[in-house]
Chains A and B, each alone.
Chain A
Amino acid sequence: MIMPLIKGLQITLSHLFKKPVTLQYPDERPQIAPGFRGLHALKVSHENAKCVACYLCPTVCPAKCITVEAGEDANHNKFAAKYEIDMLRCIFCGYCVEACPVDALKMTEEFELANYKRADFTFTKDRLLEKK
């Protein structure tokens, strides 16, 4: 009856000398695992978004958070005139990245997406463009 009690005390005492696992978050940054699905980014090639507005991403999106509108540029090529992701609906499943046939979309390591206004959670094309 007494031995388990002593063993319990031993275990807690041994933990006292272990290195704490706490991450002092705003001061220390977490190590982000490979394949982490954070905020989306539209890839850029020749100073334009690679997106060809094929509508595969809004089609595959289970949360229905992507809005795409196609436009036509000077060379009669299709491009995304409007590309918006509603981050309040997005579930960060990454299906849009998988579905993209031209590899125009990726997910970054950014995860601090808090905002003050509801409207600020709608990420427009300008905000989504890959930052170099």
Chain B
Amino acid sequence: METLILGLPVAYYIAMVAKVLVAFVFVLLTVAYATYAERKIIGHMQVRLGPMRTGWHGLLQPIADGVKLFFKEEIIPSEASKFAFLVAPLVALIPAFISFAVIPFGAPVSIGGYTVPMQIAAYYDQAGQQIFDINVGVLYILAMAGLGVYGIVLAGWSSNSKYSLLGGLRSAAQMVSYELAAGLAIVSVFMLSESLSLHKIVADQAGGIWNWYAFKQPLACVIFFICSIAEINRTPFDLPEAETELVSGFCTEYSSMKYAMFFMAEYANMVTVCAVTTTLFLGGWHGPFLPGWMWFIAKVYALIFLCMWIRATYPRYRYDQLMRLGWKVFLPLTLLNVVATGIVATLVK
């Protein structure tokens, strides 16, 4: 009889810690090098070179940036409300990372008789031969996306500066508007999967590219991706930090490591959003020939490239256009999509 902790074998806990470490380090590295890739890709799209001087073709640039930000002077405005000012970057950063806990990033692996599902918050039940994960994984991701707003609003509010406050309020309004459409786009996905568990959603998309929800729900896929870009405040929806109007929005008063945290949160959110889109619409880790985790990484990186491509192409939306797009275009479209999915799904059954 092997030792059990809370009804689970010890190997489960070891696998868990290993998965957390691997996923976290991987996301951190991706975040660091996403900044480099972004500068390089946008540079080349503007027929420039991008960073070239730090290391070979500027490869050490993210490290140099990190070291620089770490040694910068820590400035807290004298009129700021100190506690909220210090907590805000953490509130922004942590939800960006913990969304990764529920995303399946590869096919289950067998190590020494144990089957380890490649998803942090999941375990394999030896007796039932079944993988269990959080059965409300999608809801969890939406909740974490909602939490991220607090960091930005709190930063804007506690800085006691008009630009920060305006940036924070803009981001709150923007995120609330686009979360609705993004949520409704997901609704049409789990109407097909009949589950909120991400493991089940990925399993449903197995067996060929035409089983991907991107082809069964093309409208929901496009709207979800656009709304996600809006939710993480990336160009063309980067109004909360529109430098031409708001200096740099909610992070105007931030410097040093606290600024770096907002910066990291922004890129971590981008990685998360791309991973969620991959999971929900692009078949997760499913793909021919290569191992699952490679497909997952390839799909996520392709989407990150798409984000950067979009950033290099489109100018920023005006505020009223942004609200109109969210409430008058995407929301009715997703509602119609849900109705249509419902009718078709009932008829097919």
The residues of A with any CB-CB pair to B shorter than 8 Å are 5, 8-9, 11-13, 15-16, 18-22, 24
User: Is B83 close to A, CB under 8 A?
Assistant: no
User: Is B109 close to A, CB under 8 A?
Assistant: no
Chain A residues near B75 (CB-CB < 8 A): none
Q: Is the CB of A12 within 8 A of B47?
A: no
The contact of A21 among B41, B47, B309, B310, by CB within 8 Å, is B47
- Inter-chain CA distance A19–B48, complex, in Å, is 8
The contact of A18 among B47, B309, B310, B313, by CB within 8 Å, is B47
The contact of B48 among A5, A11, A13, A22, by CB within 8 Å, is A22
- Inter-chain CA distance A52–B45, complex, in Å, is 56
Chain B residues near A19 (CB-CB < 8 A): 47
Nearest neighbor of A1 in chain B, beta-carbon distance: B329
Q: Is the CB of B48 within 8 A of A8?
A: no
Chain A residues near B47 (CB-CB < 8 A): 15, 18-21
Chain A residues near B41 (CB-CB < 8 A): 16
User: Is B314 close to A, CB under 8 A?
Assistant: yes
Given contacts A20-B48, A24-B52, contact A8 B314 (CB under 8 A): yes
* Residues of B60-100 whose CB lies within 8 A of A: none
- Inter-chain CA distance A18–B47, complex, in Å, is 7
Chain B residues near A13 (CB-CB < 8 A): 45, 309
User: Is B46 close to A, CB under 8 A?
Assistant: yes
**Which of A12, A18, A22 counts the most chain B CB atoms within 10 A?**
A12
Nearest neighbor of A22 in chain B, beta-carbon distance: B49
Name 5 interchain pairs, CB-CB below 8 A, sorted by A: A8-B313, A12-B45, A19-B47, A20-B44, A20-B47
Q: Is the CB of A15 within 8 A of B49?
A: no
- Inter-chain CA distance A78–B165, complex, in Å, is 74
User: Is B43 close to A, CB under 8 A?
Assistant: yes
Q: Min CB distance, A1 to chain B, in Å?
A: 10
The residues of B with any CB-CB pair to A shorter than 8 Å are 41, 43-49, 52, 309-310, 312-314
Q: Min CB distance, A50 to chain B, in Å?
A: 44
Nearest neighbor of A9 in chain B, beta-carbon distance: B313
Q: A16-B41, A16-B44 are in contact. List 18 more A-B contacts (CB 8 A).
A: A8-B314, A11-B313, A12-B309, A12-B312, A15-B44, A15-B47, A16-B45, A19-B47, A20-B43, A20-B44, A20-B47, A20-B48, A20-B49, A21-B47, A21-B48, A22-B49, A22-B52, A24-B49
Chain B residues near A11 (CB-CB < 8 A): 313
Q: Min CB distance, A6 to chain B, in Å?
A: 10
Nearest neighbor of A6 in chain B, beta-carbon distance: B313
Chain A residues near B310 (CB-CB < 8 A): 9
Chain B residues near A5 (CB-CB < 8 A): 314
- Inter-chain CA distance A20–B45, complex, in Å, is 9
Nearest neighbor of A21 in chain B, beta-carbon distance: B47
Q: Min CB distance, A27 to chain B, in Å?
A: 10
Q: Is the CB of B309 within 8 A of A9?
A: yes
Nearest neighbor of B52 in chain A, beta-carbon distance: A24
Nearest neighbor of A20 in chain B, beta-carbon distance: B49
- Inter-chain CA distance A9–B311, complex, in Å, is 10
- Inter-chain CA distance A18–B52, complex, in Å, is 17
The contact of A15 among B46, B52, B314, by CB within 8 Å, is B46
Given contacts A18-B47, A21-B47, contact A12 B52 (CB under 8 A): no
- Inter-chain CA distance A11–B52, complex, in Å, is 24
Q: Min CB distance, A13 to chain B, in Å?
A: 7
Q: Is the CB of A15 within 8 A of B45?
A: yes
- Inter-chain CA distance A11–B46, complex, in Å, is 10
Q: Min CB distance, B16 to chain A, in Å?
A: 41
- Inter-chain CA distance A109–B314, complex, in Å, is 41
Nearest neighbor of A19 in chain B, beta-carbon distance: B47
Chain A residues near B49 (CB-CB < 8 A): 20, 22, 24
